[in-house]
Amino acid sequence: MGDVILTMKGIDKSFPGVHALDHVDLEIRKGEVLALMGENGAGKSTLMKILTGVYSKDSGTITYEGKEVEFKNTREAQDAGVVIVHQELNMLGHLTVAQNLFIGREFKNGIKIDDKKMIEESKKLFDRLNVDIDPTEIMSNLTVGKQQMCEIAKAVSFDAKVIVFDEPSAALTESEIEEMFKIIRDLKKKDIAMVYISHRMDEIKVITDRVTVMRDGTYVGTLITKDCTKEDIINMMVGRVIYEDPKTESAVAKDAPVVLKVENLNAGKMVQNVSFELRKGEILGFSGLMGAGRTETARALFGADPKESGDIYINGQKVDIKSPRDAVKAGIGYLSEDRKRFGIVVQKTVAENTTMATMHEFMNGLFINKKKEKEVAQQHVDALATKTPGVDQLVVNLSGGNQQKVVIAKWLTRNSDILIFDEPTRGIDVGAKNEIYKLMNKLAAEGKSIIMISSEMTEILRMSDRIVVMCEGKKTGEIDISEATQENIMNLATREIN
């Protein structure tokens, strides 16, 4: 491991009402990948934003290459060689790849922007990183993976000495992550220091050298990656031991009635001849890599996207689901992976969100019965242990986990017997995850049937009674939990199909 290139000492930062960082220390060395871990809200992103000049610190010092520095904006940080690859892709979708790479520092020929030179330089950059991207392509036409490569290429092109990756893999497929790791290893050889923020333990194990853990805005400690276990890290993150054992046996009786039967569902390339059954009280895991067609299957089943063919039976009765409205009537509730877009109305209260799908039950003639609405919402807040000051609270002020509970409450008021959870714990921190898991188990025990789409292997193995695996739009297998292992699931998820 190389010399220390950057030290942050006693960094303190407060936002109105929140003490986001409390005297945090961090040390980064040349040619290493340092994992920065912590629950959501632990202060990782804030710390990195202070480092790269997005925010200013209240107190503390940053020493970079032996000198104390304070970057006033991202530009200054970039010029000094400290760059961040942001969590949300910071792409200008309407512009070309080359225009994106050199945004803010265009080559000029008089007053004219020298697009030709920008394209040439982009080509050189991509060659160096061994990625195949056409610099003249419009950015929004690229896959998310390629866009991420562009972000990294951009970071590298600043002659960066320190690169911060803020959850770079969140939207990437396995092969894209592999490709990114190749680039990261390459950069390591060039003595570039990197900070890698991620929630994915397996990645941390593979790519990082040391792990620094933060909790509630404080520095907890630093470990050497190869000398520590996942449990060590998780314990430091949450300050408590977390139960993460896989389920070993299905909790559903063999003769439990089939509540949902899907036969030969077809909807475009992503859903080809998908058939499966869901039993009462069962949690059916849907596993697969990104782009396997799991969400698409759920959306076709739910009537959110048109289906080409296929039969759906609920409690043995054939149903014709043409729209989400039909699906809801048939007793299906869908909890989207993208809560903010499809799940909740953030600027509305907990009560209003809870009754969103069942408005008609809360009407007094033309008027909404606010009192009843609040009562019912309060019942759900109590039953689900949603942490909110009250049902009048705007949903935007709740944490991710509690927002998810509001969505669950919405479907419970609707008496949906079949619940589709699409990535139920995405963007939810470890502690709140456990609560969501408990809640799902409770719902299943009460006789609700759950389809759980998840990209997290641990989540699949921990929650499912049975697992359907998909790959490239086709169902490639079905495994009972008693036989499921990471290996056989992965095998099905990556199987070549002729």
Partner 1 sequence: MANKKSLLKGREAMVVGIIIAMVAVFSILSPTFRTYTTFVSILDCSYYVALMAIGVTFPLITGGVDLSIGTGLICYALFGGYLIVHKGMPVGIALVACVIVGTLIGLLNGFLVAVMDLPPFLATLCTCMINRGLGSLLSGGFGVSWPSALEPAGWFRSIFRFKAGGQVIPVGIALIVVLVIIMSFVLNHTKIGRYTFAIGSNKEATKLAGVNVKFYHIAAYTICGFFAGLAAIAYSATYVTIYPGSGAGFEMDAIAGAIVGGVSASGGIGSIIGAFLGVIVISLMKVGLPFIGLQANWQQIITGLVLIGAILIDVVKKKK
The residues of the shown chain that bind partner 1, judged by CB under 8 A, are 54, 73-75, 78, 86, 90-96, 99, 103-106, 108, 111-113, 115, 136, 138
CA–CA distance, 194 with 29 (Å, rounded to integer): 8
CB 91 to partner 1: min, Å: 7
What ranges make up the beta strands (E) of 352-487? 363-364, 367-368, 418-422, 449-453, 466-471, 474-480
State the minimum distance, in angstroms, from the CB of residue 83 to partner 1: 10
**For helices 144-157 and 174-189, angle between their N-to-C axes, nearest 10 degrees:** 10
At closest approach, how far in Å is the CB of 144 from partner 1? 15
CB closer to partner 1, 95 vs 394: 95
Which of residues 268 and 477 has its CB atom nearest to partner 1 in the complex?
268
Q: Which is nearer to partner 1, 46 or 464 (CB)?
A: 46
CB 194 within 8 Å of CB 188: yes
Helix, strand, coil percent content, the chain, rounded in steps of 5: 35, 30, 35
H or E element, residue 128: helix 115-129
Which are the contacts of 9, defined by CB distance < 8 A and separation ≥ 6?
25, 60, 61, 62, 63
As given in the structure block, the two tokens for residue 102 are 């050199």
* CA torsion through residues 272, 277, 278, 282, sign: negative
Pick between residue 86 and residue 199 the one whose CB is nearest to partner 1: 86
Q: Smaller CB distance to partner 1: residue 296 or 352?
A: 296
Please report how close the Cβ of residue 227 comes to partner 1 at its closest, in angstroms. 36
- C-alpha dihedral, 193 to 197 to 200 to 206, nearest 10°: 0
CB of residue 88 to partner 1, shortest distance in Å? 8
CB of residue 138 vs partner 1: minimum separation in angstroms?
8
Distance of CA 498 to the CA centre of its chain: 31
Residue 239 or 306: which CB sits closer to partner 1? 306
Which structure tokens are listed for 461?
A: 């193995």
Dihedral sign for Cα 466, 470, 474, 477, please: negative
User: Minimum Å distance from CB 428 to partner 1?
Assistant: 24
Q: Compare residues 167 and 435 and give the one whose CB is closer to partner 1.
A: 167
